[in-house]
Structure 1
Amino acid sequence: MESFSITGKQIISGVAVLSAGIFLGLLAGYGLFSSDEAQPELVSLETLPPHSESAADPAPERIEQPGGSAIYSAEAKTEPVTAALPENKLCVAVEGAVRRPGIYYFEEDSRVHDAIVAAGGLQETADINDINTAAWLLDNVPLYVPFQRIVQKEDNRISAKKALSAAEMNVPQYTRSGWQPSFHAPGKKSSAEMQTNPEIPASAPTVPEEGNASGSGKVNLNTASLAELQTLPGIGPKTAEKIDNYRQSQPFRSIEELQQVHGIGPKKLEAVRLLITVD
């Protein structure tokens, strides 16, 4: 009987051939089953529906307000909506030490007290000592409630922060110090009408005619005396001197140029705009 001997190399070669056969069999089976699976469908860009802007979020609606300002509404339409000024209403900007400063509309017989209540009441730092809360409101004339003078003590030093006074920021009718007996009739009257119609209570003291080159009842910034300048709301002796110093170096060429004087900002300018001239 013949005997056979198997070497280690032959065993390794046999195992390798067997493993290769098993791997090829598995690979063929996987390809057979995977060929039956559904392939992803390619969609042409031309078949997609076009984008519609009508379903997009609308742009905020711009609503015009009196005075040129605007608010924006979340529910927009294609056309802007103009907010009309209510008829027979006083339009008053309530500013300063109130809880909700803003523009409010009032009936013609409303008082300063009503404006303060409409604006949410007074802040804790409000100073109404010189505010005439019983005064009639004037159309298109702002009401400013001043803040208290702030006094701080730090490191044995006392510092005071000056606050704008009621007389500086309001027409005389709104203040106790500037009120006159002729201020009694309510109504929708602008500050310009009060200067030209003697039957309407004036919103500012009467301007002397001397030195008033315009002859229109307005204070001429270039020719008015210091006393005449001080008849303007918010213009005291020191501010009048500053105006005089400015015009000595160069005459006023426009009303807006008054803001070049130190201490006069946009609010003070608007308070005196209808009462002054440079012609």
Structure 2
Amino acid sequence: MPEENAPPPRRLRLSIGAAVVVALVVLSGAVGLGLLRGQAAPAESIPLSTPGSTVESSGELYVHVLGAVEAPGLYVLSPGARLVDAVGAAGGTRDDADLAAVNLARVLTDGEQVVVPVLGAAAAIPGGAAAADDGLIDLNTADQAALETLPRIGPALAQRILDWREENGRFRSVDDLLGVPGIGEKLLAGIRDGVRV
């Protein structure tokens, strides 16, 4: 006569224990994956960098968007992004934005600051927001008229500077002017103190 209180077979106890262990491993894996997803790169972030390091090597563009946009801030964009992408990441423009003062089709570069002016703000500064408080011409925002105020820069050379900027993106330093056809060391020395980037 078999005993009614006999212990369950060992095999059944082992499979229940294994199921509990597997369930715990799956649960901890799911929690870990959820934490990793929660720490993914945010749309707005400030990169920490050291001298000589570049973010471009990681395949991302960090762009600071300011002015007449819904959510000004620092945005991480894909390589090849255009100004319209940065404005879109910042929630679009406000009703008072002066879109005629910016080129939405321009390709962005890493570390760039984009300012979308309000209506009338660009006209308030001679040269279309090209002259800063320090009186220097900003090579990245100057229009042709502002560039022509520089010594020995006429309409043709001013247009070449604008063309270079359109083809290559922002000037990273004043020395980048040497890449503009018709500007050599001597001409650069004559205008260096009147420009900035």
Structure 2 length as normaliser, TM-score? 0.47
Structure possessing the higher relative contact order (Cα contacts under 8 Å, 6 or more residues apart):
2
Greater gyration radius? 1
Structure 1 length as normaliser, TM-score? 0.35
Structure having the higher helix fraction is 2
